[in-house]
Chains A and B, each alone.
Chain A
Amino acid sequence: MILILPLIYSEVLLVTYQIQPAYAQGTSWYVGYFDYTPPGVAYSHPGVYGEILTIDANVPSITTNMYCEWVATILSYSPMYWVQVGYLKGAIQTWVFYSPHYYVEKMDQANTNGVSTFVPLNTSTPSAGSWHSYATRRPYYFPGESPPSYDPSEWRFYIDNMGAYVWRFFVTPYIPIDEQAFVEVYGTSQIRITGSHFRNLRFFDAQLYWYYWDRHVARADSPYTITEVSHHEFYANGGG
């Protein structure tokens, strides 16, 4: 009795101590690449570029769910700040898009309650099966920039035409720390993203201009999968 009870007791305590919190799936699913330049490597990427094939996936409960495909420059992970450009289908904030729609977006020190500044672009819409290029860039003091940029916190966004920006945000803080290129699914994994394709992922650099991503860390949340072609190209599949 004396020998058994302590054993039982300590086992119970040990098991209790080792139990980890349940690792629950969140409300979003992600498939794509982080640049993930290690923090001790000298870094300066004032821009990211990627070409994305448009898909027109079915979005169940489209007034609450959505998917989007984008490139983003991360300005901070703690707090979480970023600027982004891409296309989206479904609901976000007070909008519902029933077909793929271009947008730009930012989250920075001025955005409270976790609500981003989301701007749908009404220039044109991407059609299924068409490739489009998307880019972010901080143009401050970059020679030859037209029009010149005098505010260091300015970020410009480009779709298809790198000669003319489609939107700009002024953000704080404004220094980039990472890049991402992702398919994001919100609300339900019933959205089938098979056929998603990103290529020619590039960084901007004042000396090297636009150059290919030379590293990446992939993420694919089940039931979605990723096919990694290279540091600068991948396919995303699954769902539905």
Chain B
Amino acid sequence: MNKKLGEYGTFILLAIIVPMAIFLSFKPTTQVKYKIGDFEFEYGGDIEGETIKIMELGNLGEPATATSPPYPPFKRYSLTSGIQAVLNEYGEVPLLPTWFPEEMKFADVYMGPVTIISFSDRKVSDFRFANITIQVKLYPNPPSLDELNKSVEYGKQQGNNDLNLVQIGDTWVVLSEKAGLGDPEVEAMFGPSPLAWFFKDNYYYIICVKSPLTPQDMIKIMESLKPANQ
């Protein structure tokens, strides 16, 4: 009896282990990794080009905290397909970071009225919950340094002391260490976060990093920005 059980047990074990091994050795295309320099990323979505529709959540039974405009639909791609989509859209690829905090494992590209490139330490439902987002829009008439300076100085005069204009490389950047995130659901998760915005080569960039990343991480990320093919 015990011998028979042993034989069946072996079969049952094999029946479990073999298909598991086959399943685990087969990686869906969405798990193929993409590299930027020494950093390797997986796609955080399920299907290339899937449409992301964000549903806005408030607290039912309580008045709204704002009359929030909705998010538009975005198409979501892996980094490699997304870079190609960006290339098709712009005719060139905007700057990408070449340095990342080690925890960043996933990278996605969202195409909508703006392009949003996101990096995160886990799979996320959409860019709102990623650790790093880089929003890009073609903007051929960028503000002058004088205009940026005025906006910061006037902001400080009105009591907004979290604004600073700094030079990173050859680019002037407006920095905020504790920017609100606009969306109650996201703000509840991360709290005020580091934000930077600047113009470079006809593109308008807004970079936001969320915890556990710090303002210092954001500056290192910005210092590492390079054209994607370099």
A74 to B179, CA, bound (A): 17
- Please, which residue of chain B has its CB at the minimum distance from the CB of A86? B67
Chain B, 120-179, CB within 8 A of any chain A CB: 125, 127-128, 133, 135-141, 143, 147-148, 150-151, 154-155, 158, 160, 162-163, 174, 176, 178-179
- Please, which residue of chain B has its CB at the minimum distance from the CB of A80? B182
Question: Are A44 and B64 in contact, CB atoms less than 8 angstroms apart?
Answer: no
B212 within 8 A of A: no
CB contact between A114 and one of B46, B53, B147, B183 (< 8 Å): that residue: B183
- Taking each of B46, B69, B148, which has the highest tally of chain A beta carbons within 10 Å of its own beta carbon? B69
- The answer to whether A34 and B113 touch (CB under 8 A), given A81-B182, A182-B69, is yes
CB contact between A172 and one of B23, B160, B193, B204 (< 8 Å): that residue: B160
Question: Are A77 and B135 in contact, CB atoms less than 8 angstroms apart?
Answer: yes
A43 within 8 A of B: yes
A116 within 8 A of B: yes
Shortest CB distance A227–B (Å): 19
Question: Are A114 and B180 in contact, CB atoms less than 8 angstroms apart?
Answer: yes
Contact with B along A76-96 (1 / 0, CB 8 A): 111111101010100111111
A86 to B68, CA, bound (A): 12
Question: Are B151 and A174 in contact, CB atoms less than 8 angstroms apart?
Answer: yes
Contact with A along B22-65 (1 / 0, CB 8 A): 11000010000000000000000010000001011111111111
A42 to B89, CA, bound (A): 11
Which of B12-20, B98-106, B217-225 forms contacts with chain A? B12-20
- Please, which residue of chain B has its CB at the minimum distance from the CB of A180? B69
- The answer to whether A114 and B14 touch (CB under 8 A), given A10-B23, A27-B58, A80-B68, is no
Question: Are A109 and B176 in contact, CB atoms less than 8 angstroms apart?
Answer: yes
- Please, which residue of chain A has its CB at the minimum distance from the CB of B65? A115
A225 within 8 A of B: no
Q: How many residues of B contact A (CB 8 A)?
A: 85
A43 to B139, CA, bound (A): 6
A70 within 8 A of B: yes
Contact with B along A17-29 (1 / 0, CB 8 A): 1001101111110
CB contact between B184 and one of A72, A113, A151, A184 (< 8 Å): that residue: A113
Question: Are A28 and B174 in contact, CB atoms less than 8 angstroms apart?
Answer: no
A38 within 8 A of B: yes
- The answer to whether A77 and B71 touch (CB under 8 A), given A5-B16, A26-B56, is yes
Chain A, 32-49, CB within 8 A of any chain B CB: 34-44
Q: How many residues of A contact B (CB 8 A)?
A: 85
Question: Are B138 and A41 in contact, CB atoms less than 8 angstroms apart?
Answer: yes
Contact with B along A28-69 (1 / 0, CB 8 A): 101000111111111110000000000000000001101010
Contact with A along B193-210 (1 / 0, CB 8 A): 101010000001010100
Question: Are A111 and B182 in contact, CB atoms less than 8 angstroms apart?
Answer: yes
- Please, which residue of chain A has its CB at the minimum distance from the CB of B143? A152
- The answer to whether A40 and B91 touch (CB under 8 A), given A27-B59, A93-B63, is yes
Residues on A lying within 8 angstroms of B by beta carbon are 1-2, 5-7, 9-10, 13-14, 17, 20-21, 23-28, 30, 34-44, 63-64, 66, 68, 70, 72, 74, 76-82, 84, 86, 88, 91-96, 103, 105, 107-116, 118, 140, 150-153, 170, 172-175, 177-178, 180, 182, 184, 186-187, 217, 219
- List 13 extra interface pairs beyond A78-B116, A91-B64, A112-B192, CB under 8 A: A1-B11, A10-B23, A25-B55, A28-B68, A38-B89, A40-B90, A78-B135, A79-B206, A92-B63, A153-B154, A172-B160, A175-B143, A187-B60
Residues on B lying within 8 angstroms of A by beta carbon are 11-12, 14-16, 18-20, 22-23, 28, 46, 53, 55-73, 89-91, 111-116, 118, 125, 127-128, 133, 135-141, 143, 147-148, 150-151, 154-155, 158, 160, 162-163, 174, 176, 178-188, 191-193, 195, 197, 204, 206, 208
